[in-house]
C-alpha cells in the first residue's frame, strides 16, 4: 500500500475521546477498559496511491540495530505522521501499536489505557493491566505502570509503539509514564514519538546513553527528487531551475511545497519563503487566503470557517452546530477534492480539517464574529451532551467560557467519569470551574467537589469547596432526583464529621431520609448512618443498618460502598470478640473490593486494614502482611477530610503492627490519629479506643525506626520518587510546596537508610513498599 501524498504534508489527526461512538473498539481489551475508546486513535491515518515514499527515512528506521527510542520532531506540515504511517504500512520487520495523542491523554489513566489497548491488539495483555486501569484510585507509579511494564517485557515478538502528536501531552506525569514504559521495552522493540515540540521530553539522558534516534526538520525536508514526485502527483510541472528555487525558498518544507502546488494549479504562482509557521502566522494567513481560500466556493469557505471550532467533524455534529442539513455530503466532497479535510475512518463518518487552515480560520472567525462563535460552541456542547459525549461536551463548554453549562453537566457526569478511572480529567474540570466560575452559584457541584477532593486526599481543597457547598443557593431537584440541596449538604456534613457525634447522627439520618431512594449517593448515606450508630455505642442497631446498606449497595450498583459496609460489620464483630465471623466478613469485603475495579480507592484501605487484623488473629501471618501492604498506598490519601475511616484504618493497622512487634510503625500511625483528632475531636466511641491504643503503645518497647515508620505523607510522596518528576513537579501533583516534598524525601532517605533518590526507590521495592 502506498502512502497518501496528502497525508505526507498534513499534521496527524487529533481525535477526542468519546466522540466517535460508531467506531469504538471491539477488541478483547474493550471488555476491560473503564471507558469507551476511539478506534481512529489506534490506527494510522488512511493512505492512498498519490504518495511520495520517504525511502531514505524508512531505511534509517528499519535498521534493526537502531536505538530503542525514536523521536521525530519538527513543526507542522513536515510529514511526521506520514513517515510513521509509511513505516507501519511497510510491514517489513515489526508489528505496530499506534496511538494518535491529544489533550485527553494528559490524564495518565486515559493515556495508559489507550497504550494498553494498542498493545493488546498485537498480543493479549494480562487482564490485570486493565483491572488496574479501571480502578479510579490505582496508583499510576505504584501499580498501573509496573503492571503495564511487566506486560511489555513479556511480549514475545518485537514491535513498535508509535505515539503521534506527542506534543499534545503536557502533563509531566503522562510524559514520565511514557519514559518509564520506554525502559521496559523488550529486546528489538522500539518506541517512536512524533512531536512538534520535544522540549518536555528528557532527551539529554537518552542521548548520552546512545538510546535515541532523532529525526528533525532537516531530515524531514524534501529534496528535489521528492519535491518533483510530490508536484508530479498533483499534475504540476516545474523546470529544473524553478523547482530548485522552490525547494530552496520553502527549505524543503513539505506543507509549503504542497501549498505551492495548490497555488500553482489555481494561479500559476510560485510560493514565497517558508518559515516556521502556525495557522495564525501572517505568511500562512496571507498565502492561504490569497492562493487557496479565495478560490473556494463561498459555501465551502463558510462551512470550513464555522466548523473550525470543532476538532472532529461529522455530518450529524456539523448539522446540529450549523443548524442545517447535508453536512455529510459537504465533508465527503471537501475530502475528495483535497480541500485540507482528512477522513479519519474508512466509512467516511468522521473527519478533521488541516491544523494550519483550522487555526487560521478559527482566529479570524473569533475576531469577526465572537458572538457567533459562542453560539456555535454552545450547540456543539448540546449535541455532545445529548449523544453521551460528556468529556467532549465539557471541553466545548470550557472553550466557550460557559461556566454555567459546564457546572450543570458536571453535576450529571462527574461520578461516572470518576468511576471509570479518569481522576485527572475530573480534577481538571474542578480546577477550571474554580478559576472561571463563582462557586457559590453551583452549590450542587461544590458538594461533589468537596467529596471528590476528600476522597482523593486533598483535604484543603475539600475545605475550600465545602464553603460554597453550604452557602450557595440552589432551587429545584438535583441531578439524582433528590428534591432539595439540603439532602446533599447533609451527606457532605456527615462525611466530613466536623460537628460532633450528635450532629453526625442527625445529618446522616437526614441524608438517608431525603436523598432519592435510587440515587447512587443513597448507599453512601446509609453506610454513614450505620457508622454513626456504631460510634454512638449502638452496635446492634449499627449492624442492622450496615447489613441493609450492603444490600442496597448491591441493588443500586454502588460497588464502592459494599466493601465498606462489610468491613464496618467486621469491626462490630471484633468488638463482640466474634473473630471467626469478623474474619469471614473481612474476607467478603476484600472480595467485594477487588471485584469492583475500585480496589485502590482510598477508603478501601479500611477493608485491607481490617482483613490484616483478622487474618493475623486466625494465624495467617502471610495474609496479614499481604493486606497490610495493600493498605499502605491508599491509606495515605485518608486525611482529616474523611476523619472516621482515616482514624479507623490507622487504628486497625496500628494494632496489627503491635501484634507483629513493630512498635515504630504503630507509634507513627498513632501520631497521625492524634493529628486528625485535633481537627475532629468528637468522634464518639472512637476516642475511647484511641485512648486504649495509646496505653498499649506506651507499654510496648521502643522499636528501631525504619521503613515501616514512614508517615502517610511520606507514603504519598514515595511512589512519585520513581518518576522523573522534580520535587517542584511532585509538589504540584500533591498540592504541596517544593520544600515540603524535599523534607518528606529527606525523611524517607533517613528511614530507609539511604542517601539518594535512586537508592530509596530500590530499598522501598526491596522491602515491599513499592
- CB-CB contact of 332 with 344 (8 Å): no
Cα separation, 733 vs 589, in Å, equals 31
Backbone angles phi, psi at 644, to 5 degrees: -65, -55
Q: Grid coordinates representing 279?
A: 495557522
pLDDT of residue 697: 87
C-alpha distances (whole Å) from 151 to each of 41, 137, 597, 748 are 21, 21, 19, 30
Give the CA angle between residues 731, 737, 741 to the nearest 5°.
Answer: 60
Residues 236, 265 contacting (CB under 8 angstroms): yes
Tell me what percent of the residues of the chain surpass a pLDDT of 90. 46
- Residue 541 grid coordinates: 442497631
Strands 313-314 and 350-353: antiparallel
Grid coordinates representing 234?
A: 498533483
Domain 485-704: CATH class, spelled out: mainly alpha
| Sequence-distant (≥ 6) Cβ neighbours of residue 229 within 8 angstroms | 52
In this structure, are residues 362 and 284 in contact, taking their beta carbons and an 8 Å threshold?
no
Are 239 and 264 within 8 A, CB to CB? no
The 10s digit of each residue's pLDDT in 308-340 is: 999 889 999 999 999 999 999 999 988 876 667
Describe the chain by its helix, strand, coil percentages, rounded to 5: 65, 5, 30
Nearest to 299 by CA among 320, 330, 328: 330
**Residue 163: which of 134, 131, 195 has the closest Cα?**
195
Which long-range contacts link 286-290 to residues 24+ away (Cβ below 8 Å)?
A: 287/259, 287/263, 288/259, 288/356, 288/357, 288/360, 289/360
CA angle at 224 for the pair 223 and 228, rounded to the nearest 5°: 120
Q: Are 539 and 576 in contact (CB under 8 A)?
A: yes
Residue 23 has a pLDDT of 34
**Contact, 70 vs 213, CB < 8 A?**
yes
The C-alpha atoms of residue 335 and residue 352 are separated, in whole angstroms, by: 9
> What DSSP designation does 767 have?
T
Query: Rounded to whole angstroms, how far apart are CA atoms 206 and 120?
Result: 27
> Which residue stretches of the chain have pLDDT < 70?
1-34, 48-50, 64-65, 91-93, 205, 233-237, 260-284, 287-288, 290-292, 337-339, 557, 597-598, 701-708, 768
User: What pLDDT score was predicted for residue 676?
Assistant: 95
| CA gap 34, 114 in Å, rounded | 11
Q: Is 629 exposed, middle or buried (0-12, 13-18, 19+ CB in 10 A)?
A: middle
| Backbone region of residue 171 per phi and psi (left: phi > 0; alpha: psi in -120 to 50; beta: other values) | beta
Scanning 618-711, the segments in alpha helix (DSSP H) are: 621-635, 643-659, 663-679, 686-699
**Residues 123, 157: contact at Cβ < 8 Å?**
yes
Decide: 610 and 652 in contact? Cβ < 8 Å. yes
CA 65 remoteness from chain centre: 34
pTM: predicted TM-score of the whole model, two decimal places: 0.76
Residues 6+ apart with CB under 8 A from 598: 135, 136, 137, 419, 559, 560, 604
Enter the C-alpha cell of residue 94.
515489526
Within 481-561, where are the H helices?
485-496, 500-514, 522-535, 539-556
Task: Give the end-to-end CA distance of the chain in Å, rounded to a whole number.
Answer: 47
Distance of CA 619 to the CA centre of its chain: 41
All three cell numbers of 318, joined, read: 456539523
CB distance 20 to 102 below 8 Å:
no
Query: Other CB atoms closer than 10 Å to residue 234's CB: what's the count?
Result: 18
Bridge partners of 95, per DSSP, are: 159
Phi, psi of 310 (to 5 degrees): -100, 130
Grid-cell match 474523611, residue found: 642
Contacts of 350 (CB under 8 A, 6+ apart): 15, 19, 20, 23, 40, 312, 313, 314, 343, 344
User: Do 621 and 589 meet the contact criterion of CB atoms below 8 Å apart?
Assistant: no
Q: Which stretches of 308-389 are DSSP H helices?
A: 315-322, 327-336, 355-368, 370-386
Into which CATH architecture does domain 7-220 fall? 3-Layer(aba) Sandwich (3.40)
Residue count of the chain? 770
List the domain boundaries for the chain. Answer: 7-220, 224-276, 388-472, 485-704, 705-770
CB 97 within 8 A of CB 84: no
DSSP 268-284: -PPP----S--TTSHHH
pLDDT at res. 354: 78
Can you list the alpha helix ranges (DSSP code H) found in 183-281? Answer: 203-208, 217-220, 224-233, 240-250, 254-267
CATH topology of domain 705-770: Arc Repressor Mutant, subunit A (1.10.10)
Amino acid at each position: 500500500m502506498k502512502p497518501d501524498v496528502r497525508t505526507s504534508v498534513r499534521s496527524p489527526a487529533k481525535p477526542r475521546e468519546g466522540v466517535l461512538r460508531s467506531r469504538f473498539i471491539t477488541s478483547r481489551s474493550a471488555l476491560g477498559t473503564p471507558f469507551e475508546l476511539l478506534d481512529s486513535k489506534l490506527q494510522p491515518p488512511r493512505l492512498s496511491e498519490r504518495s511520495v515514499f520517504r525511502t531514505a527515512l524508512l531505511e534509517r528506521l528499519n535498521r534493526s540495530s537502531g536505538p530503542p527510542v525514536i523521536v521525530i520532531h519538527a513543526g507542522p506540515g513536515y510529514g511526521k505522521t506520514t513517515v510513521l504511517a509509511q513505516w507501519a504500512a511497510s510491514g517489513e520487520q515489526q508489528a505496530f501499536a499506534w496511538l494518535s495523542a491529544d489533550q485527553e491523554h494528559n490524564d495518565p489513566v486515559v493515556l495508559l489505557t489507550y497504550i494498553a489497548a494498542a498493545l493488546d491488539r498485537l498480543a493479549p495483555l494480562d487482564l490485570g493491566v486493565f483491572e488496574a486501569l479501571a480502578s479510579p484510585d490505582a496508583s499510576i507509579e505504584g501499580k498501573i505502570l509496573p503492571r503495564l511494564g511487566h506486560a511489555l517485557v513479556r511480549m514475545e515478538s518485537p514491535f513498535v509503539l508509535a505515539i503521534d502528536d506527542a506534543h499534545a501531552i503536557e502533563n509531566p506525569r503522562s510524559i514520565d509514564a511514557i519514559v518509564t514504559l520506554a525502559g521496559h521495552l523488550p529486546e528489538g522493540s522500539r518506541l517512536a514519538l512524533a512531536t512538534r515540540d520535544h522540549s518536555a521530553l528528557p532527551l539529554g539522558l537518552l542521548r548520552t546513553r546512545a538510546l535515541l534516534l532523532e529525526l528533525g526538520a532537516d531530515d524531514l525536508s524534501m529534496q528535489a527528487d521528492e519535491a518533483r514526485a510530490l508536484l508530479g502527483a498533483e499534475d504540476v510541472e516545474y523546470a529544473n531551475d524553478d523547482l530548485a528555487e522552490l525547494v530552496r525558498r520553502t527549505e524543503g518544507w513539505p506543507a509549503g511545497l504542497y501549498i505551492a502546488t495548490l497555488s500553482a494549479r489555481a494561479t500559476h504562482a510560485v510560493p514565497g519563503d517558508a518559515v516556521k509557521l502556525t495557522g495564525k502566522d501572517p505568511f500562512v494567513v496571507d498565502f492561504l487566503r490569497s492562493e487557496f481560500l479565495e478560490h473556494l466556493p463561498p459555501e465551502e469557505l463558510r462551512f470550513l470557517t464555522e466548523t473550525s471550532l470543532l476538532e472532529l467533524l461529522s455530518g450529524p455534529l456539523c448539522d446540529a452546530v450549523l443548524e442545517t442539513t447535508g453536512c455529510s455530503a459537504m465533508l465527503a466532497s471537501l475530502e475528495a477534492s483535497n480541500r485540507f479535510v482528512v477522513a479519519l475512518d474508512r466509512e467516511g463518518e468522521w473527519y478533521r480539517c488541516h491544523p494550519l487552515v483550522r487555526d487560521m480560520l478559527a482566529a479570524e472567525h473569533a475576531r469577526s464574529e465572537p458572538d457567533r462563535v459562542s453560539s456555535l460552541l454552545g450547540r456543539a456542547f448540546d449535541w455532545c451532551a445529548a449523544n453521551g459525549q460528556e468529556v467532549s461536551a465539557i471541553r466545548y463548554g470550557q472553550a466557550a467560557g460557559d461556566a454555567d453549562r459546564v457546572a450543570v453537566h458536571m453535576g450529571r457526569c462527574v461520578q461516572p467519569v470518576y468511576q471509570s478511572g479518569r481522576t485527572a480529567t475530573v480534577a481538571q474540570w474542578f480546577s477550571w470551574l474554580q478559576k472561571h466560575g463563582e462557586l457559590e452559584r453551583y452549590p450542587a457541584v461544590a458538594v461533589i467537589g468537596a467529596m471528590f477532593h476528600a476522597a482523593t486526599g486533598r483535604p484543603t481543597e475539600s475545605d475550600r469547596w465545602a464553603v460554597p457547598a453550604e452557602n450557595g443557593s440552589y432551587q429545584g431537584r438535583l441531578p439524582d432526583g433528590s428534591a432539595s440541596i439540603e439532602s446533599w449538604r447533609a451527606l457532605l456534613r456527615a462525611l466530613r464529621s466536623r460537628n460532633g457525634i450528635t450532629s453526625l447522627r442527625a445529618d446522616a439520618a437526614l441524608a438517608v431520609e431525603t436523598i432519592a431512594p435510587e440515587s447512587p449517593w443513597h448507599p453512601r448515606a446509609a453506610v454513614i448512618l450505620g457508622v454513626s450508630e456504631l460510634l454512638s455505642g449502638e452496635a446492634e442497631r449499627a449492624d442492622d443498618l450496615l447489613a441493609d446498606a450492603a444490600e442496597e449497595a448491591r441493588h443500586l450498583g454502588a460497588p464502592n460502598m459494599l466493601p465498606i459496609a462489610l468491613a464496618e460489620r467486621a469491626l462490630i464483630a471484633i468488638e463482640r470478640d466474634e473473630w471467626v465471623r469478623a474474619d469471614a466478613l473481612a474476607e467478603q469485603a476484600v472480595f467485594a473490593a477487588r471485584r469492583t475495579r475500585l480496589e485502590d480507592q482510598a477508603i478501601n484501605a479500611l477493608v485491607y486494614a481490617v482483613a490484616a487484623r483478622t487474618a493475623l488473629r486466625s494465624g495467617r501471618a502471610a495474609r496479614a502482611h499481604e493486606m497490610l501492604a495493600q493498605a499502605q498506598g491508599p491509606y495515605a490519601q485518608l486525611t482529616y477530610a474523611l476523619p472516621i475511616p482515616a482514624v479507623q484504618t490507622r487504628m486497625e493497622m496500628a494494632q496489627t503492627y503491635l501484634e507483629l512487634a513493630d512498635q515504630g510503625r504503630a507509634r507513627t500511625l498513632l501520631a497521625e490519629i492524634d493529628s486528625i483528632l485535633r481537627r475532629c475531636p468528637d468522634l464518639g466511641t472512637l476516642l475511647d479506643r484511641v485512648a486504649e491504643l495509646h496505653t498499649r503503645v506506651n507499654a510496648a518497647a521502643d522499636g528501631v525506626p525504619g521503613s515501616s515508620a514512614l508517615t502517610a505523607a511520606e507514603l504519598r510522596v514515595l511512589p512519585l520518587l520513581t518518576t522523573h518528576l522534580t520535587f517542584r513537579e511532585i509538589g504540584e501533583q500533591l498540592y504541596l510546596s517544593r520544600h515540603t516534598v524535599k523534607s518528606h524525601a529527606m525523611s524517607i532517605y533517613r528511614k530507609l537508610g539511604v542517601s539518594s533518590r535512586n537508592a530509596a526507590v530500590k530499598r522501598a521495592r526491596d522491602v515491599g513498599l513499592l
